[in-house]
Amino acid sequence: MNQLVNHWIRVLRQLLLRFVSSCERRFGGALLIAIMWVGQPVLVHAQPVGIPTIGAASSAELSPQLEALLGDAIMEEGRRDPSYIDEIYINQYLTDMGQRLVQAAPININQKIRVFAIRDPSINAFALPGGYIGINSGLIAASHSEAELASVLAHEIAHVGQRHVARGMTQSAQTNHAMMAALAGAVLAALSGSADLAMGVAAFGQAAAIDRQLGFSRQAEQEADRIGFQMLSQAGYDPRGMAKMFQRLMQSARLNEPPRGSYASTHPLSSQRQSDIENRIAHAPTKGAYYHNDDFWFVRAATRVVQARGGQPLQQLLQQFDADTHSANPLEQAAAFYGKAFVAFKRKDYEDSLKFIKQARAQADNAALDILEIQVLLEQGQIQSAVRLAQQAWQRWPKQQALALEYTKALQAQGQDEQLIQFLRARIAEWPDEPQWYQWIAQSYERMGQAVAARTSMAEYYERVGALPAAIEQLRQARHLSHDFYEQSRLDVRIRELQDRMQRQREMLSRFKG
């Protein structure tokens, strides 16, 4: 544990030195001295993360509000990181799975769980502050069933519910306080608009090291296993999926030295944990049928394509897809053809993509096929056909955000801005936290010549991605362009609300930093 924490400190020191180089004139030497102090090797007296008697002081030092603020700050930058998988179809599936598990949790999960995928071939998942959970593409690609994937996500949600991440970040009064104070300083600088948050929090993958480098004690792992197992079973998934995934991880760890970033390197594996899981399964009531979502197979195929990118990995993946087209499972067959169609789309081979989509539909139907076909039609310039298919598909799959996005793109391509705005307003009522809706509405308002409405919508977009200074600037521009007294007054109120919110965040960070 000592080495893990000190490694995190060394990483943070390098990131913050980059931060200083970008804003040294504003902050002077004091911040540099503080960062140099943070970077000094220290002796950390490790305490098992899973011990519940953490005390009132730690809760005050990293309150749920501060934890959420830090998580939002990391994610604001993380969404621009190349490793972030910006595929709404994949991320909605993961978040919906997370919500299903949370609803079945035996403990109170006091944070909103938001799940996303990153491009990383290692089989792992990690939790960030504020209820954000990252799933490596390697984990999705390696899962043989939805229950296996859900078992790892349930385990991570258990870590969040037990606040293992927050506890790990505040264990050492000497080391982690300095680490968190420096991170708070970086977020403060970004809130003031005086520096790029990227220089303070740095790359998304390195920010995720908060979880990866701290690791978890075996006691914390067993606690997360127990809660995760209950969650998995109560949510209707086959609990044997947890045992199968654990066996695969144990076998991999025995055959190979766990690579850095792998599950075994951050979650201590043991025969005791495996025995505990198998014992719970033996005493669990059996069910005639378990919950499953057909989307799993298509999400796995899409994630494999995103992970492979090109070259030899992509050729090997195509060979795997060819083999899977002969699977006894029609869903796996359809997903394999879909994967081949997705690869063809990425290569701009649109005719082949449509051919593979047709073959996939002969085995099974899924919203992913309609989503991809709309994308192909738009690229081919067949706008009317894309709109028609989007309208038909939306009647069949009204809960798919990715389909709503493609429908939006088709309406925009057709110049139907008013219809687009009306459609997305209805989606906002259902999914108010999805930033993209506001961005697309802003573009339509701009084309319609409604500059004030366009900037107000962009302010909503920036607010939801955590960029409050940018949101305030958009509102100021809107106020300057407006000639309506009442509209100006409403904008003034909104600007003050966001400024007050930023001030509260500054005060919270300043107290922690001090």
User: In this structure, what are the phi and psi dihedrals at residue 173, rounded to the nearest 5 degrees?
Assistant: -65, -20
- Three-state SS string over 258-281 comes to CCCCCHHHHCCCCHHHHHHHHHHH
Exposure on the CB side of residue 361, measured as CA atoms within 13 A: 13
Map tokens 């502050």 to a residue: 129
Determine contact, residues 364/334, Cβ cutoff 8 Å: yes
Q: Which pLDDT score, from 0 to 100, does residue 205 have?
A: 45
Distances (CA, A) of 8 to 24, 37, 76, 180, 486: 23, 14, 21, 11, 51
Three-state DSSP class for 179? Answer: helix
Q: Domains of the chain: which residue ranges?
A: 2-283, 313-513
Cα gap 175→8, rounded to integer Å: 10
DSSP 58-117: HHHHT-HHHHHHHHHHHHHHHTTSTTB---HHHHHHHHHHHHHHHHT-SS---S--EEEE
Q: Which pLDDT score, from 0 to 100, does residue 179 have?
A: 54
Q: Which pLDDT score, from 0 to 100, does residue 275 have?
A: 80
Cα gap 261→291, rounded to integer Å: 30
Does pTM top 0.95 for this prediction? Answer: no
Cα gap 91→198, rounded to integer Å: 23
User: In this structure, what are the phi and psi dihedrals at residue 239, rounded to the nearest 5 degrees?
Assistant: -65, -20
Q: Which pLDDT score, from 0 to 100, does residue 213 have?
A: 46
Distances (CA, A) of 445 to 309, 417, 421, 431, 439: 36, 8, 8, 20, 10
| Residue-by-residue pLDDT tens, the chain, 514 positions | 333 334 434 434 444 444 334 333 333 333 333 333 333 333 333 333 332 322 333 444 567 777 788 788 778 778 888 889 999 999 999 999 999 999 999 988 888 899 999 999 988 888 888 889 999 999 999 999 999 999 999 999 998 887 756 565 555 444 455 555 555 555 555 555 544 444 334 434 444 444 444 455 667 778 888 899 999 999 999 999 998 988 877 776 654 444 554 444 445 555 777 788 888 888 888 777 899 999 999 999 999 999 998 899 999 999 999 999 999 999 999 999 999 999 999 999 999 999 999 999 999 999 999 999 999 999 999 999 999 999 999 999 999 999 999 999 999 999 999 999 999 999 999 999 899 999 999 999 999 999 999 999 999 999 998 889 999 999 999 999 999 999 999 999 999 999 999 998 888 777 665 5
Q: Which two tokens stand for residue 100?
A: 């299903």
Distances (CA, A) of 138 to 117, 122, 144, 283, 299: 10, 5, 12, 31, 12
Which amino acid, residue 82?
P
Determine contact, residues 302/283, Cβ cutoff 8 Å: no
Q: Which pLDDT score, from 0 to 100, does residue 171 have?
A: 55
479-508: string of b/e by CB count within 10 Å (b at 16+)?
Answer: bebbeeeebbebbeebbeebeeebeebeeb
Tell me the CA end-to-end span of the chain in Å, nearest whole number: 26
Beta bridge pairs of residue 126: 134
Cα gap 92→87, rounded to integer Å: 9
Q: Which pLDDT score, from 0 to 100, does residue 376 have?
A: 98
Q: Which pLDDT score, from 0 to 100, does residue 69 have?
A: 82
User: In this structure, what are the phi and psi dihedrals at residue 115, rounded to the nearest 5 degrees?
Assistant: -115, 140
Cα gap 179→129, rounded to integer Å: 14
Which amino acid, residue 468?
L
Number of H helices, E strands in the chain: 27, 3
**What letter would DSSP give residue 285?**
P
CATH fold for domain 313-513 = 1.25.40
Q: Which two tokens stand for residue 432?
A: 């108010």
**Residues in Cβ contact with 60 at an 8 Å cutoff, skipping those fewer than 6 apart:** none
Kindly report the number of other CB atoms within 10 A of residue 301's CB atom: 29
Rg (CA), the chain: 24
